[in-house]
Amino acid sequence: MTASAVRAELPAIGDELLREQAEYWQETLADAPEPLELTADRPRPAQPDPTGAIVRLELDEELAAALEALGMRHSSHISTVLLAGWAAVLGRLSGQTDLVIGCSGNALPVRVDLSGSPTAAELLGRVEARVRGALRNQDLAFQRVVELVQPDGAASATPLFRAAFVWRDAPASDPELPGLEPGAVAASERCSTGGLDLSLELGEENGGVAGQVVFATALFDRETVERYAGYLRRMLAGMAADETRPVDRLTLVSDEERRLVVEEWNRTETPYPADSY
């Protein structure tokens, strides 16, 4: 089915509300970027592998309070601040300035614009607007959204997104990430990714914010995702400390990692055998 045929079919979707929501998603996700493609430890397998594992992530009370205060200054919930920080990290890792992230338990696609080197405050405003728009138009089933945006059936080969973010409003024993079986994360470090590369699940816990990153073991080593979790902590800390600074200039690497890259990997005095050509 062509895109024009889908548009002609819009009245058959249902009432006026669903028609308006269908038009919203078509406009918002028009010319959507290629799905997130991070530099992984292994090539993407020819056949999808849903095997996943988790990396625990905790933000202490001080940082959580600073992030909540940042959100309040911009009429945003802390979850929106966390999503903005996650998007900024994913953008830095992928080199993309336009990306789609699946949000909440029903996988609402949220398109994030990182172009123009936005400050933390500017990025938060962009993400807040997108989140509000997605929530206002969440009655349309996700599969219907996919059909409208990818009418040629390319979704099976090219998903709308490969990364997700879920906020838990209250502590829960079972994660809400799509594809995860009840109790999977709590019972074992092995779980299903639901076909995603990376999923961040966070919620309030013991006065701070805590959760986990679920990652595809076919693509990433645990050490890589632990490093990504550290990047997110530093991104969020930088956003909370100075909301006027562009997020693409915030430091992500730790002092130890920087020392490794700058000093160890760039040593030129190391002798090499003369016959090592």
Reduced to 3 states (helix: H, G, I; strand: E, B; else coil), residue 228 is helix
- How far CA 128 is from CA of 124, 133, 193, in Å, comes to 6, 9, 26
Reduced to 3 states (helix: H, G, I; strand: E, B; else coil), residue 87 is helix
Q: Which residues contact 202 (CB under 8 A, 6 or more apart)?
A: 57, 59, 79, 82, 165, 166, 167, 168, 209, 210, 211
- Identify the pLDDT of residue 14: 56
- Identify the pLDDT of residue 176: 46
In angstroms, how far is CA 193 from the centroid of its own chain?
14
Within a domain: residue 42? no
Reduced to 3 states (helix: H, G, I; strand: E, B; else coil), residue 221 is coil
Domain extent, residue 129, equals 12-36+47-264
Is 238 within 8 Å of 70 (Cβ atoms)?
no
**CATH number assigned to the domain comprising residue 152:** 3.30.559.30
Task: Name which of 1-15, 115-129, 185-199 the model is least confident about.
Answer: 1-15
Within a domain: residue 232? yes
More confident residue, 129 or 190: 129
Reduced to 3 states (helix: H, G, I; strand: E, B; else coil), residue 217 is coil
**pLDDT over 70 (residue 68):** yes
Task: Give the type of residue at 95.
Answer: G
**pLDDT over 90 (residue 117):** yes
Task: Give the type of residue at 27.
Answer: E
Within a domain: residue 274? no
Report which of 113, 91, 172, 105 is spatially closest to residue 135, judged by C-alpha positions: 105
Summarize pLDDT for 138-192 with one digit per residue, the tens. 999 999 999 988 877 655 567 899 999 999 986 544 444 444 444 444 434 778 8
Is 51 within 8 Å of 216 (Cβ atoms)?
yes
Please state, as a whole number, how many other Cβ atoms lie within 10 Å of the Cβ of residue 66. 19
Q: Name the pTM for this structure.
A: 0.83
Within a domain: residue 167? yes
- Give dist(CA 119, CA 29) in Å, integer: 24
Within a domain: residue 3? no
How deeply is 3 buried, as exposed, middle or buried, from its count of CB atoms within 10 A (0-12, 13-18, 19+)?
middle
Q: What is the mean pLDDT of residues 212-240?
A: 97
Whole-number CA gyration radius for the chain: 20
Report which of 194, 75, 68, 63 is spatially closest to residue 131, judged by C-alpha positions: 75
Within a domain: residue 102? yes
- Identify the pLDDT of residue 107: 83
Q: What is the mean pLDDT of residues 249-264?
A: 74
Reduced to 3 states (helix: H, G, I; strand: E, B; else coil), residue 70 is helix
Q: What is the DSSP letter of 246?
A: B
Roughly what angle, to the nearest 10 degrees, separates helices 142-149 and 16-28?
A: 50
Domain count, the chain: 1
**pLDDT over 70 (residue 264):** no
Is 159 within 8 Å of 35 (Cβ atoms)?
yes
In angstroms, how far is CA 41 from the centroid of its own chain?
18
Summarize pLDDT for 77-91 with one digit per residue, the tens. 999 999 999 999 999
- Give dist(CA 209, CA 207) in Å, integer: 7
Please state, as a whole number, how many other Cβ atoms lie within 10 Å of the Cβ of residue 100. 25
What is the average pLDDT value for the chain, to the nearest integer? 85
Within a domain: residue 62? yes
**Strand ranges inside 93-153, DSSP E:** 98-103, 108-113
Is 88 within 8 Å of 232 (Cβ atoms)?
no
Q: Which of 34-48, 111-125, 151-165, 254-268: highest mean pLDDT?
A: 111-125
- Identify the pLDDT of residue 186: 42
Within a domain: residue 273? no
